[in-house]
Every structure is written in structure tokens, then in C-alpha cells.
Amino acid sequence: MRNLIPLYLFLALSPLAYAQSDADILGPFQFRNEVSATYDSKIEGRSDSDSDVEFVYAPTFTFTRQSGLLGVDASLGGAFGFFADHSEYNYEDFSGGVSLTYPNTPELPYTLTLSGGYSQTTRVDQFLGGRLQVDNLYVSGGLRYNVNERWGFRIGGRWAEVEYDLARSDQSTWGYNLGFIYRYSEKLDIVLGYGYSETSASVDTQDSTFSLQAEGELTPKLTGTLGVGFQFRETEFGDSSDPYVNISLDWALNERIEIVATGSIGFLTTSTGASGRRSSAGLAAATALRHDLSASVGVSYSDTSYDDFGLDRSDESLLFRAALVWQLSPAASLSASLTYEDSQSNRDFLNYDRLRFGLSGSYTF
């Protein structure tokens, strides 16, 4: 689709955005500047939370090189947030990362990837409420090898360290994954996979996942990932097994309308180290109203339970979002977004309605 970027929905709707592909226009080095003002009716994500207006300036420097044998994506940036009435929540976040791909050509039968970085994020804690700053340091790598035109395999590994600025549970995770690939076509892979990870926190966990996934072009207009399987988690409070679901589908209905559907079932670890299970689903649509104006709407639902791990608690969240983006030029845009969240829990302080309305502008050179 021209003039329309796909929407990405995960456990909740991520920000909906529209942008033109301007790498060829602006070159491999780019400096993006974004400013925004957002009204938030529940800045702490709790029933007794105050409302406020948050102002953010987010500069990001990027470098992209996708030619020759080596592909490089690198970024360095920050986010500086200020609140009109609650200056105690002002923050300065920094992030940076690099991803390498070798060889960056389809002619060779193998591909090596290596990535790493650091990110600092200030956000609402969905488990305890309140605002917190999270530092995440990670390194990952992988190898894919096509044995012949029909068969291949891939292996990968990842290490991550997560730290919180408040008295919560810092976490360290390492893991690996294996996949046997059947190349159904040039654009579609069928992958039989296994993944294992260990997380050290206040409650240590060991996860195993067996999956069967279709990845790529499912039909000429439908692309994405469709995966099912089983997963197991072991903790000191007991073991739990669940179906594994990973769905992320992008349907290009026509040249102007795009629809994204997602669904997942998986384990999670909270900021306190507690284990839970989350099921989620989302649906969003975006349309190009004209060559420089796009609109998007979406809804998502998530259900999180902790019963299997010694905690009598369940949370539900229903979220609606709408956005408009006006592309002034390949380098500049203006946008407006509206988000409404209905949070329900058997913990009274997490029963609330949250409304967010924001305006933002960006310029890249």
C-alpha cells in the first residue's frame, strides 16, 4: 500500500502512526524531532489518580544502510517529559541500539543477525499502578540457513537485564530458540519451533514453548504470522501449561484500506517478579483519506490471571484508539490521537476509566 504504514497491535494497541518511506529522500543519516502534548485523566493508572497534561520532546538520530553484504540499523535518542501540575513525575529517558545483518543479500543460503542496545522507559506499572522508570539492556543473535530450496533451519539466543527505579524485582533473562523450516514458497515459511528461557527475579521461572507457525505471505493480500502450540512455566509455586497462540495478520483490503488483527496467549512476569498468564486480541484498520491524510481506529482486549502461581487476582482491559495523521511533506507530519481504556480488576485501586488525548508534530532532516 502506498502512503500507509501498517498498524502493530500487541498486548495492547501501540501508538498508531502514519509515515512515508523517506530513506531514499533524506539519506542514511536522519535526525527526527518530535514534540507532543497529551491530556491524561489518570497519569498514575490507578482509580485515585489525578489528571494532568504531559509535554514530551523526543529527538532520535538514526543510521540505516541496507546495501552490499552488511545491513546496519542504528539509533540513539531520548524522551524528555514534563507535567503541567505534577513536576515530580518529570523524566529523562535515553535509548540506543544497533542491529547488523550479514550477508544482506538473498543470493547466499545463510543469514547472520546480531543486535543489542539499551532502553530507558518511563511508564505506568500495570500491576501495581503508579509510574516507574525501567532500564532494559539486551543482546541477541541468530542464524538462518537454507539447506536447499525447500528446507532450512534457524537458531537464536537472547540475554536481557531489566532494572526498576523503585523497590521492585530486577530481572535477568537468557534463552534460546530452534526452528526447522519448510519453505512452502518464496514468500511463505512453515516453522516447527522450540524455545527455552530462564528468568531470575524474586520468583525464578523456566519457560518452554513448542510451536508450529506460518510466516510470510499467506495469500496475495494477507501477510503475517499464524502460530499455535503449547507452553510450560515452572516456578516455586508450581507448574502451569497452556496453549500457545501468536497471531499477527495484515490484510491489504485494497490500495487505501489496511486491516490488522492480532491475538496471543502467553506467560508474563510483573515488575514484582510475580508470574501470570495473559490472553489478548486486537483489531485495527487504517485508511488513506487522501494522499497526505490518513486515519486509523482500533480496539484491543486483554485478560490477565495469576491464579496458577499462588496469587488470587485477575485483570481485564478494554482499549479503544483513533488517530489522524497529516503528512505535510516527506520530512514533516502532524497527528492527533484519542485513547480510552476501561480497566477492571479484583483489586479496587485498578478499577478505572482512562482518557488520553494528544497532539504531536515531527520533523526529520
Host H or E run for residue 363: strand 352-364
* Tally of CB atoms within 10 A around 262: 24
CB 325 within 8 A of CB 333: yes
pLDDT at residue 26 in the model = 64
Question: Distance between CA 347 and CA 365 in Å, rounded?
Answer: 47
Nearest to 51, CA basis, from 342, 360, 354: 354
Q: What is the pLDDT along the chain (365 residues), one digit of tens a residue?
A: 333 333 333 333 333 333 344 445 567 899 999 999 999 999 999 999 999 999 999 999 999 998 778 899 999 999 999 999 999 999 999 999 999 999 877 778 999 999 999 999 999 998 999 999 999 999 999 999 999 999 999 999 999 999 998 767 899 999 999 999 999 999 999 999 999 999 999 889 999 999 999 999 999 999 999 999 999 999 988 889 999 999 999 999 988 999 999 999 999 999 988 899 999 999 999 999 999 999 999 999 999 999 878 788 999 999 999 999 999 999 999 999 999 999 999 999 999 999 999 999 999 99
Global confidence as pTM: 0.87
pLDDT at residue 167 in the model = 66
Which cell numbers hold the place of 160?
A: 536481557
Which backbone phi and psi does 123 adopt, to 5 degrees?
-155, 175
Q: What stretches of 174-298 show up as alpha helix (H) in DSSP?
A: none
Going from N- to C-terminal start, the domains of the chain cover 23-364
Nearest to 33, CA basis, from 60, 51, 10: 60
Which backbone phi and psi does 2 adopt, to 5 degrees?
-95, 145
Nearest to 37, CA basis, from 355, 354, 356, 323: 356
**What type of residue sits at position 364?**
T
Question: Distance between CA 198 and CA 275 in Å, rounded?
Answer: 13
Q: Can you name the CATH fold of 23-364?
A: Porin (2.40.160)
pLDDT at residue 4 in the model = 33
Longest Cα–Cα distance in the chain: 62
Helices (H) and strands (E) in the chain, counts: 1, 18
